[in-house]
Structure 1
Amino acid sequence: MKIKETSLKDCYIIEPTIFEDERGYFFEKFNEKKFEELTGMNGHFVQDNISKSSYGVLRGVHLQKGEHAQAKLVSCLEGRVFDVAVDLRKDSATFGEWFGVELTPENKLQLYVPRGFGHGFSVLSETAIFSYKCDNFYNKDSEGSVIWNDPDLNIDWKLPVEAIILSEKDKLLPKFSERNF
């Protein structure tokens, strides 16, 4: 397992070591001990979530705040997604900056999104199955969010605007300047 730093403090790309032969391949998707040794961060997860979405679906930018804040380890099990992390930690040197990476079953990359970050993704393939490992349990009353097309963040979701499909809830999220996180 290789850990690559992103442009955002404490946000990492995890690249597995893949063993291939004529039968197929094997790789260790995650190792808590190695992760903690390489990053110095807690890698204990308590909840796994899976979502399936079609082309153009954009989910985000969401976070859990306060005592229910969540770090996430995300990957794409089927299809292609453009995954985005936004540093919403007010005391961080990278506050208000975002990082994006394409996740696919072929590249087998995962993105570690630390607590205090917003997270979202857009679906670039016909369908996608997306996996989230979370280090804290979901709590509806602890939701925070930023609208997907916030002009201060200026996130490139890698989709034509007319193709983007949002939930009714995601259409009404606040702007970054309104700071509900």
Structure 2
Amino acid sequence: MTNRRILLISLVGFLIFGLLLGGKFVYQKQWVDVTILSQSQEIPGVVSAKVESHNGLKEMVVKTNQITNLRQACQILKKVAENVPIRLVDSRNETLERVLGQMQFAVQEGIASGNFTVMAQNLRTQAENEGVNLELEMDSDAIYLILNQDPAQLIEVIERNGQGDFLASEKDMT
């Protein structure tokens, strides 16, 4: 009789544990993802956002389409992400990737020396020489860079202090 009660109590305990675990999974997948998606879609130029797990690490993947105010969008995304690193996905082409690679010298030099006016001037000159439109902003945390070459757009957030809020941007493969 006592063995049956222990068995019954154990089964009920496992059932309740399973329900709670399943409820947590549904909550994370449905409620949190829907909340992130709805809040992020209010940002002009953001198509979608979702939290994904890569190699056991969570990151918020944000697909963009012709974003205009990257600094403001990133500030909102950081609040929505709640300390999860953000990866921006854009519609870059090979020319824009090459130009960004060339600009990295001026960007890193500007960060190291603190001479951001010279950096900005060098970046604008490089963009003009390549026939690319440049939108450049900065705050105390990062440098926000958008390269446009219709219809392609490359966006990059270069953190000044290595906070880890933003991961390297990627090309949209869909």
TM-score of the pair, normalised by structure 1: 0.26
Q: Highest Rg: 1 or 2?
A: 2
| Structure whose residues are more often strand by fraction | 1
Q: Compare relative contact order (CA 8 Å, sep 6+) and give the higher one, 1 or 2.
A: 1
| Structure whose residues are more often helix by fraction | 2
